[in-house]
Structure 1
Amino acid sequence: MAIDWLLLITLVWLQTKHFVADYVLQPAWIIDGKGDLRKPGGYVHAAIHAAATMPILWLSMPYLTWTVAVVTGEFLIHFLIDHLKAVYGRRHPCPMNARSFWMLHGGDQLAHHLTYSTILTVVAWQSYFNV
């Protein structure tokens, strides 16, 4: 039963963190920098996500090695998802009221939340087996 609460609380914190990092802490220079490997925006955005995930996982997993590994993976995956979305969005621009815009946005958010499902799987595995 305790692992259920651990996973639920971890998920709530990850989703809250995701909202703040994706919608509150994105000035124009970060948004504009995504999709261009020469600009810092995408790197900074992924680093914000990773940095905010770190304390959440410190509370969920007692082993620093696992936390660092998961946070590093999140940084890389988050950067890649956003980079691909930005490149595609620039090649296929569409207005915000178009169905294709919302499909791309929703697909991006789904990919991020599936990343959180993977993180929760690691937390559950690590918690259950204490490895």
Structure 2
Amino acid sequence: MDQITLMLVMLALFQVKHLFADFYLQTPKMLSAGATYVHAGRAQHALVHIVGSFLVLLPFGLLAGLSWGLVVGLLALEWVLHYHIDFGKGWWSKRTAFTTTDAGYWRAFGVDQLAHQWTYIAMVWMAV
């Protein structure tokens, strides 16, 4: 598989993983207390993301020779970034009190999703 195809496949798989982890697998506990910094639900949500990312990276580790150290490093980076991106959105949402009927809510949601997608771009760049 050439490098550009590899990168595009990895990005596409990260996006599918993100869809499921962010929109199908979140529990009420994960969604609660978004503005609280230390929050077990957010930690669990970030863990769901890195389990999904491990499943994305696993075949590339076997096919492209990614080291286990790099895979573990990428997963740790994603966990930290995902946790903090979501905390930032929760903190901002509480501070502004925007609801789904406010444009500001959707802007914050969009910035949150953009930050997650940039995380995947960085992970792919580091892996390839």
Fold shared, TM-score > 0.5 on shorter chain: yes
Question: Any conservation in 2 of the 1:85–1:108 contact (CA below 8 Å)?
Answer: yes
Alignment of 1:36-75 (within 5 A): 36-61=36-61, 62=65, 63-75=67-79
Alignment pair present for 1:10 and 2:10: yes
Relative CO higher for 1 or 2, CA cutoff 8 Å, sep ≥ 6?
A: 2
Superposition deviation, residue 8 in structure 1: 1.1
The gaps in structure 2 that reach 5 residues or longer are: none
Q: How many residues in Structure 1 have an aligned counterpart in Structure 2? A: 124
The gaps in structure 1 that reach 5 residues or longer are: 125-131
Superposition deviation, residue 56 in structure 1: 1.1
Question: Any conservation in 2 of the 1:50–1:74 contact (CA below 8 Å)?
Answer: yes
Alignment pair present for 1:113 and 2:126: no
Paired residue for 2:96, among 92, 95, 110? 92
- Give 3-state SS (helix, strand or coil) of 1:94's partner: coil
Q: Report the aligned-residue RMSD.
A: 1.3
Measured in 2, the distance between the counterparts of 1:101 and 1:25 equals 22
Q: TM-score, normalised by structure 2?
A: 0.90
Superposition deviation, residue 24 in structure 1: 0.3
Measured in 2, the distance between the counterparts of 1:31 and 1:40 equals 11
Measured in 2, the distance between the counterparts of 1:65 and 1:119 equals 13
The percent identity for this pair of structures is 26
Tell me what 1:82 maps to.
86
- Which has the larger displacement, 85-94 or 35-44? 35-44
